[in-house]
Amino acid sequence: MAEAFSLQKVLETFRSCLSEEKEVYIKYYLAGWQELVSFMNTLGNVFSFISKDVVSKVQILENLLTGENGSHYVTVQSMVKYELENNLVDITKRGNHIESGCRTLLRLHRALRWLELFLDSLRTSKEDDKTSVMCCDAYNESLAQHHPWLIRKAVGVAFCAIPGRDTFFQVMNAGDETQVVALLGESLPLISEVYQITEDLYAKNNLLELP
Ligand code: 1PZ
């Protein structure tokens, strides 16, 4: 059986993500997402359409990383350079490269912003605050802007099934509430830094709207 999810492991993978030159290692980025998928799976089947999408994107990137051009996919920086220099990215509309590393990672990158916002509101929340509201606010501020109506509706339904705050803290498997809050405080700057470095790189290369 797979080891149980723990917030600690997510923290460790995001810590491993950055090289000394502040490049983002795709291997650990994907490992972080795999941890998050296993977390989502413990929350119930309503989330399976979300975790399936994450799994398929992780798989696309893993195939690139282990494929014959894998050496170009070690970091997000090297991937962007390689795919752009070799015209492997559909820039304005979908064409021959619908599964480029750049566009695939962009989807996860946008979702990472959601995660950052959500975890931060969880961290600062009070006992009576609703996780569904926190999820929804974080979503509207991030991913929703990139999703069509139908997906936004489906996500809205999934939010109704989100477990309460107490369950969330338990499933994170990192001790009592105070400990989880402390660990979140430690994890969030790491997640933010990975997010920001990727965001700046994508912005600099005009990749933030890849179809
Ligand atoms: C624990 C509660 C989970 C709430 C998750 C909130 C985010 C909702 C995201 C909904 C995704 C819906 C399914 C797939 C959508 C895809 O169309 C898009 C765009 O990909 P494309 O079609 O262009 O290939 N996929 C995404 O935007 C990636 C979404 C990833 C969501 C990750 C959620 C992370 C959850 C972590 C758990 C703590």
Helix (H, G, I), strand (E, B) or coil at 163: coil
- Ligand 1 site, residue 53, Cβ cutoff 6 A: yes
Q: pLDDT digit string (tens) for 163-187? A: 999 998 998 888 999 999 999 999 9
Residue 5 has pLDDT above 80, yes or no: no
- Ligand 1 site, residue 181, Cβ cutoff 6 A: no
Q: pLDDT digit string (tens) for 30-53? A: 999 999 998 888 888 888 889 999
Q: 20: CA distance to ligand 1 center in Å?
A: 30
Task: Count the alpha carbons within 13 Å of 147 in the hemisphere toward its beta carbon.
Answer: 19
pTM above 0.90, yes or no: yes
- Ligand 1 site, residue 151, Cβ cutoff 6 A: yes
Q: Which of 9, 49, 107 to mutate to test the pocket of ligand 1 (most atoms within 8 A of CB)?
A: 107
3 pLDDT band (50/70/90 cuts)? low
- Ligand 1 site, residue 197, Cβ cutoff 6 A: no
In whole angstroms, what is the distance from residue 57 CA to residue 10 CA?
Answer: 18
In whole angstroms, what is the distance from residue 119 CA to residue 93 CA?
Answer: 33
Tell which atom from ligand 1 comes closest to the C-alpha of 158. Answer: 4
Q: pLDDT digit string (tens) for 15-30? A: 999 999 999 999 999 9
In whole angstroms, what is the distance from residue 3 CA to residue 129 CA?
Answer: 30
Report the CATH fold assignment for 7-204. Glycolipid transfer protein, GLTP (1.10.3520)
Provide the residue ranges of all domains of the chain, joining segments of one domain with +: 7-204
